[in-house]
Amino acid sequence: MSHPLTIKKKICIVTSSLGKGGAEKSSASLSKMLFDKGYDVHIVSVLNKIEFSYSGTLFNLGAIKDTNDTVVGRIYRLIQFIKYLNNNQFDCIIDSRSRVAAFREFFITVFVYASRPVIYVIHNYKTSHAFSDFNWLSRRLYKNKKMIAVSEEAKNKFKSKFNLSDISTIYNAYDFETNVKNSAQKDISSPKIDNYILFFGRIDDQHKNLKLLLNSYKSSKLSSLGYKLVILGNGPDLNMIKEVSKQMELESEVVFIAAVTDPSLYVSNAKFTVLTSRNEGFPMVLIESLSLGTPVVSMNCKSGPKEIITNEHNGLLVDTYTEVAFSEAMNRLVNDEVLYTHCRKNSKKSVEKFSMENISKDWERIIENLP
């Protein structure tokens, strides 16, 4: 793949994988943005999950892991990683992994990265999903490192928690052009549902709070008004959520659909989409929905929703974690046609700031100003 511009700096993006996850998808998008800016982009994937399209040169450590995942194999992969960094002499490393394993991150930060220029990306608001249990170690390791958070709320939290001296916010970028094109070129064929609201994402109740969604839907007037609930996705709690739905006698009202590579057809045909998460990093599903002109009803969880949704402008934010509050919000967006039309009209325009074109400028500014 040839570069569209004169090559500038040599960049290495380190990611857990290029498949199944918001942080992973954002790494793939980042590779495209930097490649289009003229950077020599390399991606190191820790796991052999390569599903998202990317730009640049891929070094798949996961493929090596699949052949030997013993202690000796881990040491071998570490050596290969260090060799790759040494052989390429990168101008900048962007590490997008979570940093929950204390000893591993100590070794990588102090010895592997050493004096190399590194930008650490924080993709989650929940500390236990982003850093190890040893807060004192995180303070020591990252206090003077260049950190990027994907939301203002996360930036402010970790700046204070770890006394970080150099942390900024850069939102995850969204590929509007490709998404809208995909939605326009295809026609939804399944399920044959005229009216529905949509949840799409990982079926993980501890994170996504899907039991609350089921209870809220049952408490709402949506079913009596002819609106079904479509749950699109896979995950560890899929069977459990199906069973809960059955116990609640919602089998004819809740439709489960396996995850698809491109959910834009389901999103664009939904009345609105919903998010009941207990916490997020920066929920790209909200941006995806709004980019297709579909309003959202979302819990105002930490972090991200209130930086995407302006209440009663492009959707509704629910501050109270109860099924009553969420069901009332859903009822309102169905019953209040003036409000719904207003939110739908503003949806696409409200998320233009998250375009790859705009976010790539933020990354370029950070990279070009590295010491």
Residues 165 and 180 reside in one and the same domain = no
Supply 358's token pair: 């705009």
The answer to whether residue 278 is domain-embedded is yes
Query: Tokens 């997008």 identify what position?
Result: 96
Residues 225 and 345 in one domain: yes
CATH assignment at residue 192:
3.40.50.2000
Write down the pLDDT at residue 22.
81
Q: Are residues 256 and 121 in the same domain?
A: no
Examine the domain organization and report whether 46 and 163 are in the same domain: yes
Terminal CA-to-CA distance of the chain, rounded, Å?
Answer: 30
Each residue of 287-309: pLDDT tens digit? 999 999 999 999 999 989 999 99
User: From edge to edge, which strands make up the β-sheet containing 92-95?
Assistant: 57-60, 40-45, 10-15, 92-95, 118-122, 146-149, 167-169
* 152 in the same domain as 73: yes
Q: Kindly state whether residues 216 and 330 are assigned to the same domain.
A: yes
**pLDDT the model gives residue 260:** 86
Residues 167 and 315 in one domain: no
What's the pLDDT tens digit per position in 81-122? 999 999 999 999 999 999 999 999 999 999 999 989 999 999
Residue 3 domain flag: no
Q: Is residue 199 one of the residues assigned to a domain?
A: yes
**SS3 state of residue 34:** helix
**Whole-angstrom distance, CA of residue 282 vs CA of residue 301:** 10
Q: Which stretches in the chain have pLDDT values below 50?
A: 187-190
What sign does the CA torsion over 346, 348, 350, 352 have? negative
Q: Are residues 57 and 185 in the same domain?
A: no
Say which amino acid occupies 136: W
Predicted local confidence at residue 2, as pLDDT: 52
What pLDDT is stored for residue 247 in this prediction?
A: 97
- Residue 237: count other Cβ atoms within 10 Å of its Cβ: 19
pTM: predicted TM-score of the whole model, two decimal places: 0.86
Length of the chain: 371
For the chain, the maximum distance between any two Cα atoms, rounded to a whole number of angstroms, is: 64
Phi, psi of 201 (to 5 degrees): 155, -165
Q: Tokens 């019953």 map to which residue?
A: 335
What domain range includes position 201?
176-354
In a domain, 53, yes or no: yes
- Structural domain tally of the chain? 2
Report the amino acid identity of residue 198. Answer: L
**Same-domain status, 112 and 259:** no
C-alpha distances out from residue 251 to 90, 256, 257, Å: 54, 10, 13
